[in-house]
Amino acid sequence: MNRSDSEEMAGRLLAAGATEAPTMEAADLVVINTCAIRELAEQKVIGRQGYLNALKASNASLRVVLTGCAVRERDREGLERRFPAVDLFLRPDEEPELVDRLGLASAQAPVGAVGATTIVGRTAVGVADHLSATRAAAVASGAVQRGSAISAWLPIIYGCDKTCTYCIVPFSRGPERSRPFDEIVAEARAIAEAGFREVTLLGQNVNSYGHDLAPEPRFGHIATERWAGRRLDLGSRPDLAELIRAIDALRTADGVPAIPRLRFITSHPWDLSDRLIEAMAACPSLCESLHLPVQSGDDEVLRRMGRQYTTGHYLERLEKIRAAIPGITVSTDVIVGFCGETEAQFERTLRFLAAVRYDQVFAAAYSERPGTPATRLADDVPTAEKRRRLNALLAIQEPIGLERNQAWLGRDVEVLVDTIARERSHDHEEPAGDGAAEGEVAGSRGVHPGPGEVALSGRTRGNKLVHLAGPTAWLGELVTVRVDHAGPYALRGRPVVS
């Protein structure tokens, strides 16, 4: 989500006449887009304040802007104290105002917009249509600086309406606001025409898409059921299933999906409807992979977390998905050491992971976030114990991940090549868990390029990282690869020459 937001801000700045500086030291403007999901993420930015102040001392025209989830209205005084080098703070919903607030807007750059604000609970956010409208304007004027020419992010819903007691997102990003259906399909069409091979629909809870939009007769056939959490009237509104079908229906002259790979992230179990499962199974472009955070394998911990589902509910959904889409890869998020988590409760999570056999688990130690409901519970699992539980979890998951990957040995997979590997001195695989979300650190990983070749990597439809050798011209191509090596976090293979 932050990467997508950064692409939009960078595009607005470029459209307003700014140019990219070669280094931070050479810049007159530094925009830091923050994450606040755990304390460490915020600490990293706080730790850079001294360096930024030093840069300001040597460049009087340098301005520093802080955006993203660390900027929360109720925390205004604290912000200036914690981030003394910052000149301008923008909440996530204020990011479209960046250019105007810096006084950079010009006649050539009609993309800036200052939005009206509303208060929801104790959180100040832009009015409902503000982010959608500014996004649509930015897309229409070409002012989204997409970081890749292969895969594109496509935000479909902003904010979060859920009640997870540990989580700061509902406070930093406000309530759920869906973008209008036709605007999303239009952006997908533009992405297809620009030649992108993959689109990821983005939102804190993509499968709740549409519930806040006005009912329309053309969506009269939709009566999505919500089986957990707060009951809503969901009839006659578009949902994620409808959106997936509409994007999948964008076809080339040969009748194949105009965007070969469609993904979505993240899914909350609340709105994982049968309609969505049916659409996933029916649409050829929809990739066979799902990220479905469970957070804990213990029902009492889930209750204290405010997740409003049980492990039984979760497993019922997962079984249905696995039956509908055979071979689908499944990943999850787990928090260890949440308030009051006993050893027995933690062990129940381990048994849950062993039973489900996820392809990948992103695990994190609980980090208390200011203002969240869980601050009223005692953060009573000691740090060392959280770390031990994290390691115990990884020790369970690593062999499972390895086995899941070994199942691909000898098979042919379609790889969307997206990275030229940097040279490394030794073969090395990514660590699991915290921070290993994506193949950011691309190494050659045991791939031995021949003449005219380089070490490349890409993803299967199931989102498995694959290393291979080939010409640079394969970047952005779908290549068939026979898997000949499997590690716990990545596969390696040789292109199948037809």
Binding site for ligand SAH (CB under 6 A): 37-38, 166-167, 169, 204-205, 266, 268, 293, 295, 333, 335, 364, 366-367, 369
Helix then strand then coil, % of the chain, to nearest 5: 35, 20, 45
Among 34, 204, 289, 349, binds ligand SF4 (CB under 6 A): 204
Q: What is the nearest approach in angstroms of ligand SF4 to the Cβ of residue 296?
A: 12
CA 159 → CA 173, 178, 203, 278, distances in Å? 5, 9, 7, 26
Among 156, 169, 246, 272, binds ligand SF4 (CB under 6 A): 169
Are 80 and 88 contacting, i.e. CB atoms less than 8 angstroms apart?
Answer: no
Cα–Cα distance, 365 to 385 (Å, whole number)? 10
**Residue 170 binding: pick among ligand SF4, ligand SAH, none (C-beta 5-8 Å cut-off by kind):** ligand SF4
Residue 205 or residue 419: which is nearer to ligand SF4 going by CB?
Answer: 205
Residue 169 or residue 455: which is nearer to ligand SAH going by CB?
Answer: 169
Among 32, 128, 160, 318, binds ligand SF4 (CB under 6 A): 160
**Residue 309 binding: pick among ligand SF4, ligand SAH, none (C-beta 5-8 Å cut-off by kind):** none
Residue 216 structure tokens: 């329309």
Residue 205 or residue 397: which is nearer to ligand SF4 going by CB?
Answer: 205
Among 13, 32, 133, 164, binds ligand SF4 (CB under 6 A): 164
Q: Find the Cα–Cα–Cα–Cα dihedral 248, 141, 209, 464, rounded to 10°.
A: 60
Residue 167 or residue 356: which is nearer to ligand SF4 going by CB?
Answer: 167
170 binds ligand SF4 (CB under 6 A): yes
Residue 204 or residue 419: which is nearer to ligand SAH going by CB?
Answer: 204
Are 88 and 139 contacting, i.e. CB atoms less than 8 angstroms apart?
Answer: no
Cα–Cα distance, 411 to 481 (Å, whole number)? 8
Q: H-type helices in 59-168, by residue range? A: 76-82, 98-101, 130-140
Residue 34 or residue 419: which is nearer to ligand SAH going by CB?
Answer: 34
Q: Find the Cα–Cα–Cα–Cα dihedral 184, 186, 192, 197, rounded to 10°.
A: 0
**Residue 445 binding: pick among ligand SAH, ligand SF4, none (C-beta 5-8 Å cut-off by kind):** none
Q: What is the nearest approach in angstroms of ligand SAH to the Cβ of residue 68?
A: 13
Q: What is the nearest approach in angstroms of ligand SAH to the Cβ of residue 171?
A: 11
Q: What is the nearest approach in angstroms of ligand SAH to the Cβ of residue 25?
A: 33
Cα–Cα distance, 15 to 460 (Å, whole number)? 35
Which residues are CB-neighbours of 23 under 8 A, at least 6 positions away? Answer: none
Among 12-20, 140-148, 166-174, 229-237, the segment contacting ligand SF4 (CB under 6 A): 166-174
User: Within 13 Å of residue 474, how many CA atoms lie on the same side as its CB?
Assistant: 24
Q: What is the nearest approach in angstroms of ligand SAH to the Cβ of residue 369?
A: 5
Among 1, 133, 136, 167, binds ligand SF4 (CB under 6 A): 167
Among 130, 135, 197, 268, binds ligand SF4 (CB under 6 A): 268
Cα–Cα distance, 240 to 265 (Å, whole number)? 11
Residue 188 structure tokens: 């997908």
Angle between helices 130-140 and 181-193 (to 10 degrees): 30
Cα–Cα distance, 294 to 315 (Å, whole number)? 10
**Residue 333 binding: pick among ligand SF4, ligand SAH, none (C-beta 5-8 Å cut-off by kind):** ligand SAH
Q: What is the nearest approach in angstroms of ligand SAH to the Cβ of residue 163?
A: 11
Q: What is the nearest approach in angstroms of ligand SAH to the Cβ of residue 468?
A: 30
Q: What is the nearest approach in angstroms of ligand SF4 to the Cβ of residue 91?
A: 16
Which residues are CB-neighbours of 200 under 8 A, at least 6 positions away? Answer: 151, 152, 153, 154, 263, 264, 265
Cα–Cα distance, 440 to 438 (Å, whole number)? 5
**Residue 38 binding: pick among ligand SF4, ligand SAH, none (C-beta 5-8 Å cut-off by kind):** ligand SAH
Q: What is the nearest approach in angstroms of ligand SF4 to the Cβ of residue 263?
A: 18
Cα–Cα distance, 284 to 254 (Å, whole number)? 14
Q: What is the nearest approach in angstroms of ligand SAH to the Cβ of residue 153?
A: 15
Among 14-22, 23-31, 167-175, 388-396, the segment contacting ligand SF4 (CB under 6 A): 167-175
Are 260 and 287 contacting, i.e. CB atoms less than 8 angstroms apart?
Answer: no
485 binds ligand SF4 (CB under 6 A): no
Residue in 74, 1, 43, 42 with CA at minimum distance from that of residue 372 = 74
Q: Which residues bind ligand SF4 (CB under 6 A)?
A: 160, 162, 164, 167, 169-170, 204-205, 268
